[in-house]
Amino acid sequence: MINLISDTVTKPTPGMLQAMINAEVGDDVFGEDPSVNALEAKMAAMFGKEAALFCPSGTMTNQIAIKVHTQPLDEMICDEYSHVYQYETAGYAYNAGVGVNLIKGQNGKITAEQIAAVIKPVHDWLPISKLVVLENTCNKGGGSFYTLAEIQPISALCKERGLALHLDGARLFNALVETRESTLEVGKAFDTISICLSKGLGAPVGSCLIGPKAFIRQARRVRKVMGGGMRQSGFLAAACIYALEHQVQRLKTDNDHAKILGKILENLPYVENVRPVQTNIVIFDVKAPYTAETYLTKLAEKGINASPFGLQTVRFVTHLDVSPAMIEQTTAVLKSL
Ligand SMILES: *Cc1c(COP(=O)(O)O)cnc(C)c1O
């Protein structure tokens, strides 16, 4: 089967498995796992921040960030497509007790002007606008990405108005291999950053939350109460270090593969509304009589798995375990339907 369901489906490469087997480990709840400590130090340095925290998932790193940046009765501002709003089980309300102030952006991206227009004045009867969350790349936005030039005015606005700025950078490196911008510059623009190692980077498990020392100290307490304090998690951290050292630049291949699929889809009679393909995600609509469900069943019969993203909408995600030959095979199947 060719698995285009998500870039989370990747399996560790032989080199990564070897790195995991060789990992030096300890008990990370006591702060004594050398591999976790090395990963956290590496991540913090990469973004020019003081500290980082290794967590089991990107949902947890985002939820911890929202919790630590806010107090109950505050609100976070984000695009309506945001993962923190759409796909984290309303955790902002559950874990942090905050509301959400949604912006209708463009392919998941919002601007400083749009944010400035929705920051609430301070009254007893209004939540306090406390946090802005950007997502880069934007999953539901079809893998769209922000450039630093687009982020910097948002960063300046947040500083001026006293709002925290968090980056859900689950797939940040898929954007950076396109823009060639530096992680240090990204680090300067945000207060905190969440990075998934378990997506296109190919690690089996894990995300990092990156930020100032005092913030991460509190984040560590919240991780514990969420049940995310792990013991010999250095086996996982070693996979993440391996991913950062060997599997970042190859994300460009995934982006290029997605662009090939996007081009093919644009010319197929049963397809419409292919969203601009910018990184490793392809979102498109199938025309009636197809529905996403019937179309995906047909694809599965031909050995390709993908996800529904609406009644007529389908998503493909390319990744480490999708080879050039599989892209060719997929192309042939798409044309045959
Ligand atoms: C995958 C993802 C996350 C985190 O997901 P987990 O499955 O909890 O690791 C967060 N944000 C975005 C944009 C994502 O795509």
Same domain, residue pair 115 and 19 = yes
Does ligand 1 have an atom closer than 6 angstroms to the CB of 107? no
Q: What is the pLDDT of residues 203-258, one digit of tens each?
A: 999 999 999 999 999 999 999 999 999 999 999 999 999 999 999 999 999 999 99
Q: Please give the pLDDT value at position 311.
A: 98
Q: Please give the pLDDT value at position 259.
A: 98
Cα dihedral 151, 205, 256, 278 sign: negative
The total domain count for the chain is 2
Residue 331 near residue 302, CB atoms below 8 Å: no
Q: Please give the pLDDT value at position 168.
A: 98
Does ligand 1 have an atom closer than 6 angstroms to the CB of 139? yes
Same domain, residue pair 219 and 260 = no
Q: Please give the pLDDT value at position 319.
A: 98
Q: What CATH number is attached to the domain comprising 310?
A: 3.90.1150.10
Q: Please give the pLDDT value at position 199.
A: 97
Residue 208 near residue 197, CB atoms below 8 Å: yes
Does ligand 1 have an atom closer than 6 angstroms to the CB of 170? yes
Same domain, residue pair 126 and 261 = no
What is the Cα–Cα distance from 27 to 5, expressed in whole angstroms? Answer: 34
Does ligand 1 have an atom closer than 6 angstroms to the CB of 100? no
Q: Is residue 126 part of a domain?
A: yes
For residue 267, report the distance from its CA to the centre of ligand 1, in Å. Answer: 31
Q: Please give the pLDDT value at position 271.
A: 98
For residue 337, report the distance from its CA to the centre of ligand 1, in Å. Answer: 32
| Nearest residue to 260 (alpha-carbon basis) of 277, 272, 273 | 277
For residue 333, report the distance from its CA to the centre of ligand 1, in Å. Answer: 29
Does ligand 1 have an atom closer than 6 angstroms to the CB of 28? no
Same domain, residue pair 259 and 116 = no
Residues of the chain with confidence (pLDDT) below 50: none
Does ligand 1 have an atom closer than 6 angstroms to the CB of 55? no
Same domain, residue pair 263 and 235 = no
For residue 59, report the distance from its CA to the centre of ligand 1, in Å. Answer: 6
DSSP calls for 52-73:
EEEES-HHHHHHHHHHHH--TT
The pairing of strands 74-79 and 2-3 is unpaired
Same domain, residue pair 129 and 170 = yes
Same domain, residue pair 330 and 238 = no
Same domain, residue pair 173 and 293 = no
Does ligand 1 have an atom closer than 6 angstroms to the CB of 7? no
For residue 61, report the distance from its CA to the centre of ligand 1, in Å. Answer: 9
Distances (CA, A) of 31 to 34, 36, 315: 8, 8, 40
Of 6, 8, 59, 66, the residue with max ligand 1 atoms within 8 A of its CB, to mutate for a pocket test, comes to 59
Domain end marker among 210, 229, 246: 246
Its domain, for residue 102, covers 12-246
Residue nearest to atom 5 of ligand 1 (CA): 58
Same domain, residue pair 332 and 265 = yes
Q: Which atom from ligand 1 is nearest to the alpha carbon of 198?
A: 9
If one counts every other C-beta atom within 10 angstroms of the C-beta of residue 113, the result is 10
Does ligand 1 have an atom closer than 6 angstroms to the CB of 59? yes
Q: What angle do CA 46, 52, 53 make, to 5 degrees?
A: 140
Q: Is residue 218 part of a domain?
A: yes
Q: Is residue 2 part of a domain?
A: no
Same domain, residue pair 176 and 262 = no
Q: Is residue 329 part of a domain?
A: yes
What does R_g of the chain's alpha carbons equal in angstroms?
Answer: 20
Report which DSSP code applies to 120.
Answer: P
Q: What CATH number is attached to the domain comprising 17?
A: 3.40.640.10
